[in-house]
A and B are shown apart, each in its own frame.
Chain A
Amino acid sequence: MTLGNIGIGYVAVGAAITLVATAIGRCRSTGDALMLLGMWPLWAPLTLARADTDHREQELLGALARAQASPLASVLPDAESARVLATQLREASVRLVDLDAVLARPDFDPAAAEARATELMARGAVAAAATTRLRVRTLGQLRTLRERYRRELDEVHELIAQLVTQAELVRLQPAIAHTSGELVRELVTRVEGLGDLFAYQSALESGDLEYETAASRSS
């Protein structure tokens, strides 16, 4: 097979992918189409991955898009910032799912670990019992972390719903648009605040006790 044939085959695969992406609405511009044609091993996963958005991410982007069409547009974050916020929200959603999966594992059950610690203590294995108690503490920290993620994501969800409602209200009463700035600021601050949760989780994973103590004092 000559290089020319390989090149033709490569472009043909790219053309096929471009047609499919266009048909399912994932190819948004001529630039996207050219990228798919010429660099489909890199561009196709990106194009298809854009469709694979978390429901919370979609909810935020959808709410911002709807609010953009109302007098609230002037107080909304720009497109780039909105994308970053949505990514942050998606990351938090993924981490919550991860935490749920971890804590559902039988070996991550704090009650079982506590029972084990008690059993070891009764047998006189003091050092092993102490280690098991530390594991219980860590599992407790994981559960606390999961609850914090849930709480934050629930609050963001309510703020998004409020934003959608407010956008409709402002459409009917444009005069009150200026009062909605605080709502948008609160939403953005909440989503940005998820970064602190990520940092806390990283600190937990690296066993940074000092950060952990400070974070628990401030929450």
Chain B
Amino acid sequence: MIGTLDVSSGPARVSLGTIDLLLRDRDIMLARIRSGNVAAILRTMIATIAVSMAIVGAALGSYRGDEQILYAAIKLPLVLLGTAALSAPALTAIGAALGRRSRLSSDLALVMSALAFGALLLAACTPLIMLGRAIELSYHQMILATVVMFAIAGLAALKMIVHALSIEQGPGWRSAIVGLCTVFVLVGGQLSWALRPYLVRPRTPDVPFVREVEGSLFESVTGALQSARGIYSRDSAPLPGD
């Protein structure tokens, strides 16, 4: 058969090859996203995120063990995929509002590829999480280590998006990225708050799949700020068992 173009040499089917390309050469990955068949790329990236975050969730859950391994393995992919589903269109919408040529499918593929890259980096950190469990790091040390790992993965994903949009130099690309990050943080924060806990103290006797809904992250933060100023909405905090 003739006519295979350089940029998409080799079919972009759902394959380990696409994932390998994402890890090894993101410039070619970006060129492939721009060149056209984003449906297969999107499918591969969604699957990559689901599997990678399940592995990370299982690793975090293993800090406590037992059913928490399964709970966290189910919840973490839901958090990232849910946040992406709700936030990714904002990149195109905000850019288009400012005059950037709208390419919804390419933008969605770009965001999901960046998130998949971050998820893969997190999956690569699971030995460190297991090490933390093995050397019996304290709960708060584990929390801090987890935050650092997620921050590194998040920055790597963000760097990929910034690089892709900076090449294109369309109008409003910086504002589009800022808007995407803002929406992502708000939605991701709320969704992860709603589906907590992930990392649980080993001595916790019973762990629910998700905690009771006590309010949103926004309400918790504003409540904490008011409490810090001495303004309380109740006489005392409830004791366990109340």
Contacts and interface: CB of A to CB of B under 8 A. Distances in A.
A181 B89 contact: no
Interface stretch (B3-11, B64-72, B150-158, B226-234): B3-11
B112 A75 contact: no
A81 B108 contact: no
A81 B5 contact: yes
B166 to A, nearest CB: 15
B83 to A, nearest CB: 11
A45 interface: yes
B38 A81 contact: no
B50 to A, nearest CB: 10
Interface residues of B, number: 32
A166 B12 CA distance: 30
Nearest to B6: A192
Contacts of B104: 45-46, 49
Given A46-B108, A77-B4, A39 B36 contact: no
Interface in B14-55: 35-39, 42-43, 46
Contacts of A185: 2-3
B143 interface: no
Given A2-B213, A83-B36, A46 B5 contact: no
Given A39-B81, A46-B105, 19 more contacts: A3-B194, A3-B195, A31-B43, A39-B46, A41-B86, A41-B88, A41-B89, A42-B84, A42-B88, A45-B104, A45-B105, A77-B4, A78-B1, A80-B37, A84-B7, A84-B35, A87-B37, A184-B2, A184-B3
Interface of A: 2-3, 31, 35, 38-43, 45-46, 49-50, 74-88, 181, 184-185, 188, 192
